[in-house]
Structure 1
Amino acid sequence: MRKTMKWTVMVSLSSIMTITAGCSGTPPQGTSAGSGKPAEQAVQAPPKITMMNIFFDPEPPAANSDAMKIIRQHTQTDLEVNWVPSNTYNDKLNVTIASGQLPMMIAVQNQGKDPSIINAVRSGLFWEVGPYLKDYKNLNNMNPLVKTNLSVDGKIYGIPQHQYLTREGVTFRRDWLDALGLKEPKSIDDLYQVIKAFALNDPDKNGKNDTIGLAEYGSLGSFNSMLVYHGGVPGWDVKDGKLVPDLMTPEYLNTLKFYKKLFDEKLINADFPTLKNNQANELFEKGRAGMMIGGKQYAYDREPNLNKNVPGSKIDLVTQISGPKGIRALATPGFTSAYMFPKSSVKTEADLKKVLAFWDRMADKEIQDLMVWGIEGQHYTIKDGMFVRTSDGNDRFQKEINPLRQLRSHDVSLVSKGTLGAMRTKVDESYKIDDPVAVNNPAFSLVSNTWTERGNELNKWVEDNRVKFVLGALDDSGWNNVIEQWLQKGGDKVIAEYNEQYKKVNAK
């Protein structure tokens, strides 16, 4: 299959209208009762909704699958989707915008913060939807942080494609913890003590000094979570009413020193700068490392491989670590893409209300269950009021339901309870306690032209030198020089641009 191939899937209108006949029977199709003449349409046809969306799987979602039929029925729409492969999506989107021939809804990647999209928003290409959200029960319940992150110049122009707000936690070997007589870490010091014991106290009882406390990779994959534990804010913090880049804060330096301590004491793998994420995962799955800090899903999707390599091993999860500013959790933007509505194809306010109604219904409990569980009898059954996967439900779900994940705009708060396993349940429950203490990057909704141009370069500069600090090649004075050079490379302009916008948005 050529990577450049594009698929267009036209989802046809299914028969979702039912006309109830009286006692005398149903008249022939196309006639009215007692007249024999063509009948006026008794039920208004559902509105046609067109969309351009992205897919990441080898094939696009099936056009007439049972799941798509349920979506069309529940949303009361004739949904037509143009599915475009992820590797060509942005090019296709730019061409489509330039042509002016836009569908009613487009999925915009990078949280809608690409320069071309920002320019289109500011030129009036898309509808502002913020004032309408209050009229839709589900859309109105959007997390306030997500609303903020979604905004451009303080206004909301799209509906989010859902991502968990607090995705990260501490996954660890429960059997090692129990073998060493330790308790779950609840503070930064607890975390350090557990990492140290996992590395130095022979938790696997093989008589060898061959274990790793914390598996790390690259420029420190767990750094942002650790920065939050230490009281910092990844990206940008607010100090005295002004935005300050994280690398210039004392919390950032303290976090660097924490990692240096772990490295100096041989508590993390010494080769972390050369490893990729999957290689760090392997250290954990092969029984060498006792802890990972990252996606909460590690707690259940790493266990099968670990149990193959280390029979009888057990994994557990902690998501709340207390630091100098209390219990805090790293926040994502809360969405990966944004669905936006061009005025050229959504021509009237009435049309806008139809597409907003579509997304509001897509967040109903019925669709949340569909997106998480699938279809009753195919992917799950109900036993004693609990949803239970069928024997082949997981495989079928991945093939038939998961490809539709780009249509998920809800936060799974209404999903029916079921038996996906104790750890999956623990992870799902964690969002309820972590989201209220989520730490958000206050600059996320802002746009800096300099950052757009040089952000990758500036990030790489910081991450490379972050590793040097941990390895001992830089001291505090050396880190100050890193900051000065970051400013000279364009960081000073980024600070000025972000603060100019921040002041305008917060003055409203």
Structure 2
Amino acid sequence: MVKRKSLVLFLCLMLVLSVVTACTNKESAGQEEGEVFTYKFFNASSTGKDVNTADTKIGKMFEEATGVNFDIEHIVGDSNQKIGTMIASGEYPELLNAQNATNDVIDAGGFVPLNDLIEEHAPNLRKLYDPIWEKMKQEDGNIYILPSGVSNGYIKPPNVGQSAFWIKREALKEQGYPHPKTIDEFFEIVETYAKAHPKTDGADTIPYTLLQYDWHVGQLFDPPAFLSGEQEGIMVDDETLEVSVHHNQDITKRWLKILNEVNAKGLFDREAFTQNFDEYLAKISSGRVVGWFGPRWESGTALDTLELDDDPYNDYMGFPIVFEEGIKDQYLNPESYVTSPGMGLTSGTSEEDQVRIIKFLDHMAKLDSQKLITWGIEGETYEVNEEGRYYRTQEQIDLVNKEEFRDEFGFKALGWYWPIMGGTFDDGNSVDPAVQPEVAQLAYDEVDKEFLEAYNIETFTDLFTEPDPAPWFPFWDAVIETGSEAQLYDQQSRDLIKRSYPDIILADPSKFDAEWDKFKGEFDKLPYKAYEDVIEASVKKEAELMGK
């Protein structure tokens, strides 16, 4: 009888303990028994379909683990106007990505400091952001923003997504798959093909075009640096970290001289300086253009169209072209440490809600969650081979490429813009499946394979040199004060270049030097030294924060 009572008491005690433990586990995730909390997240960085995260497979799993879900609202119309209304009213969603207006929200007190919240409640977030923890701090020492894509080691992408000099595949095939390395070799291929094919489908072939419209100016601005073996946009001395602009330097004169000669040969698109973005894209997608320079993402709409073209040789292949042999190309972006834009918790959120939200984000930062967000579920959206390498079957690739599936699974709703690592997992697998060689190679069609074999490469970036480390990259993360001399230079130089470069390029070769001298004289009057000082201070600060 005593034994029976003891057993009953023991069972009762175990039941009480199990209930307490269950409640404790729920509370540790910011959730009381059975409660679910729904918060609003406004994302000014993306357009898309508004959705509640719990209506997706991943989001439901996160809700079950944390008791939290989010109603996601995307930007429609002018994001700055929308954010401006929030600032004026002081009414914000609990979670906010303010994109270009991030600093305005910080200045208005719209974001709450996250340092203590993370240190106390979010060890996984703390680990995720450890490489850029100091860099994330504002001047007041507080962290307000959680960016996406925190680097965890460099991985070379299989395909060219950034800048390159592009040549039509038909031109390469016709000329025996030449491998141009210098700018002269590039234009030799372009000229040879254009002379052999003055017409494309009844319209004039366009040997070389470029885009200079609205904010699209990189196709004209950036080549001198790339051709010289520099990384994108600005000249930074690797040893001293001194910064200089290149628009008034000899490398820019050399680039413009080449274009002037190309124009004199009748190889330059004379509509380049008057065409708008849509007209430019139409030319690329028509297959009439033989060569061009620029980042793939800028012309992506046209190139995606070409991938569906009946003639796969109308597509393009990118090369890391330099001025002359011996220059090491630096076209691929180095490992980067971007701290803005990103998401932040807003001032109208109660302390209890702040804890729940930060714990939700901490759950997302767990390694298993990161793999779920990017790769999905093993056996459903990816496989693992005997060496521990992640891959996808063709059926899985087809599945995850379906927009409806990505919506339902949560790849879109809980992907980019949330706290996500970039680069590689510690086991060597790529965080981004598209960058995993095993996935990329399976996606290549027969013509892709033809060119890979012809150039004796496995992926298209095998032609490109791995970038040198640049702890300051990207330089455009620097803050330039409105109304400052640096900001004045930034705008005035763009206006001057857009006005002057057409005159230089389209001039009779005998007048090239005069046109260049005229431009350089005007450029030298601009406050470019103030701009260099601001960027240099930022470069040195970023390098110091990264321990370099």
Would the TM-score normalized by the shorter structure come out above 0.5? Answer: yes
1:459 equivalent to 2:457? Answer no
Map of 1:472 onto structure 2: 507
Which of 146, 155, 164 is equivalent to 1:159? 146
- Written as runs of structure 1 = structure 2, the 5 A alignment for 1:15-34 is 33=15
1:174 equivalent to 2:155? Answer no
1:183 equivalent to 2:178? Answer yes
Post-superposition offset of 1:247: 1.6
Note if contact 1:160-1:337 (Cα within 8 Å) is conserved in structure 2. Answer: yes
Post-superposition offset of 1:264: 2.2
CA separation of 1:225 and 1:34: change in aligned 2, threshold 3 A: closer
Note if contact 2:171-2:190 (Cα within 8 Å) is conserved in structure 1. Answer: no
Post-superposition offset of 1:396: 1.9
Note if contact 1:107-1:340 (Cα within 8 Å) is conserved in structure 2. Answer: yes
Which of 56, 59, 63 is equivalent to 1:69? 59
Post-superposition offset of 1:184: 2.8
Write the deviation string for residues 164-221 of structure 1: whole angstroms up to 9, x where unpaired. Answer: 9962334433232111224132333332222222322339899x99433333222665
Post-superposition offset of 1:329: 1.1
Partners of 2:74 and 2:315 in 1: CA distance: 38
Partners of 1:351 and 1:217 in 2: CA distance: 47
Partners of 1:490 and 1:109 in 2: CA distance: 28
Structure 1 residue matching 2:289: 3-state secondary structure:
coil
Map of 2:154 onto structure 1: none
Note if contact 1:54-1:85 (Cα within 8 Å) is conserved in structure 2. Answer: yes
Partners of 2:337 and 2:538 in 1: CA distance: 21
Note if contact 1:458-1:489 (Cα within 8 Å) is conserved in structure 2. Answer: yes
Map of 1:267 onto structure 2: 267
Partners of 1:147 and 1:39 in 2: CA distance: 37
Map of 2:283 onto structure 1: 283
1:198 equivalent to 2:209? Answer no
Map of 1:139 onto structure 2: 128
Note if contact 1:75-1:361 (Cα within 8 Å) is conserved in structure 2. Answer: no
- Written as runs of structure 1 = structure 2, the 5 A alignment for 1:425-436 is 430=461, 436=467
1:54 partner letter: A
Partners of 2:506 and 2:421 in 1: CA distance: 43
Post-superposition offset of 1:96: 3.2
Write the deviation string for residues 444-502 of structure 1: whole angstroms up to 9, x where unpaired. Answer: 32433324567445423322322222222874454454455456565454445555666
Partners of 1:303 and 1:502 in 2: CA distance: 34
Note if contact 1:217-1:272 (Cα within 8 Å) is conserved in structure 2. Answer: yes
Which of 234, 237, 240 is equivalent to 2:235? 237
Structure 2 residue matching 1:87: 3-state secondary structure:
coil
Post-superposition offset of 1:248: 2.9
Partners of 2:332 and 2:263 in 1: CA distance: 23
Map of 1:227 onto structure 2: 224
Note if contact 2:283-2:289 (Cα within 8 Å) is conserved in structure 1. Answer: yes
Which of 357, 362, 365 is equivalent to 2:362? 357
Partners of 1:51 and 1:497 in 2: CA distance: 34
Post-superposition offset of 1:250: 2.6
Identity %: 12
Post-superposition offset of 1:367: 0.8
CA separation of 1:381 and 1:290: change in aligned 2, threshold 3 A: same
Partners of 2:314 and 2:361 in 1: CA distance: 45
- Written as runs of structure 1 = structure 2, the 5 A alignment for 1:21-420 is 33=15, 41=23, 43-45=25-27, 46-47=29-30, 51-54=41-44, 56-57=46-47, 59-70=49-60, 72-73=62-63, 76=66, 78-97=68-87, 99-102=89-92, 105-110=95-100, 116=104, 119=107, 126-127=113-114, 139-140=128-129, 158-162=145-149, 167-202=162-197, 210-218=204-212, 222-231=219-228, 232=230, 234-238=232-236, 242-296=242-296, 302=302, 305-306=305-306, 311=311, 313=313, 315-323=315-323, 325-329=327-331, 331=333, 337-341=341-345, 345=349, 354=359, 357-358=362-363, 360-361=365-366, 364-370=370-376, 386-387=392-393, 388-390=396-398, 394-397=402-405, 400=408, 401-402=411-412, 405-407=415-417, 409-411=420-422, 413-416=430-433, 417-418=438-439
Write the deviation string for residues 315-341 of structure 1: whole angstroms up to 9, x where unpaired. Answer: 353353344641111649776732345
Partners of 1:221 and 1:504 in 2: CA distance: 26
Write the deviation string for residues 407-447 of structure 1: whole angstroms up to 9, x where unpaired. Answer: 35343622455476217999987499666348745463243
Partners of 2:476 and 2:43 in 1: CA distance: 27
CA separation of 1:337 and 1:68: change in aligned 2, threshold 3 A: farther
Note if contact 1:105-1:341 (Cα within 8 Å) is conserved in structure 2. Answer: yes
Post-superposition offset of 1:97: 4.3
User: What is the total number of aligned residue pairs between the two structures?
Assistant: 468
Partners of 2:415 and 2:107 in 1: CA distance: 28
Please identify, of 282-291 and 95-104, the stretch whose mean Cα deviation from structure 2 is larger. Answer: 95-104
Partners of 1:177 and 1:222 in 2: CA distance: 22
CA separation of 1:186 and 1:478: change in aligned 2, threshold 3 A: closer
1:262 partner letter: V
1:159 partner letter: L
1:460 partner letter: D
- TM-score, normalised on structure 1? 0.70
CA separation of 1:454 and 1:68: change in aligned 2, threshold 3 A: farther
Note if contact 1:179-1:203 (Cα within 8 Å) is conserved in structure 2. Answer: no
Structure 2 unpaired stretches of 5+: 1-7, 31-36, 151-156, 386-390, 424-429, 453-457
Partners of 2:285 and 2:243 in 1: CA distance: 40
Please identify, of 249-258 and 230-239, the stretch whose mean Cα deviation from structure 2 is larger. Answer: 230-239
- Written as runs of structure 1 = structure 2, the 5 A alignment for 1:483-502 is 483-486=520-523, 488=525, 491=528, 493-498=530-535
Map of 1:14 onto structure 2: none
Write the deviation string for residues 135-191 of structure 1: whole angstroms up to 9, x where unpaired. Answer: 75872586x8x997x776698753333499962334433232111224132333332
Note if contact 2:208-2:292 (Cα within 8 Å) is conserved in structure 1. Answer: yes
Post-superposition offset of 1:289: 1.4
CA separation of 1:85 and 1:283: change in aligned 2, threshold 3 A: same
Structure 2 residue matching 1:160: 3-state secondary structure:
coil
Note if contact 1:262-1:268 (Cα within 8 Å) is conserved in structure 2. Answer: yes
CA separation of 1:499 and 1:438: change in aligned 2, threshold 3 A: closer
Partners of 1:293 and 1:438 in 2: CA distance: 24
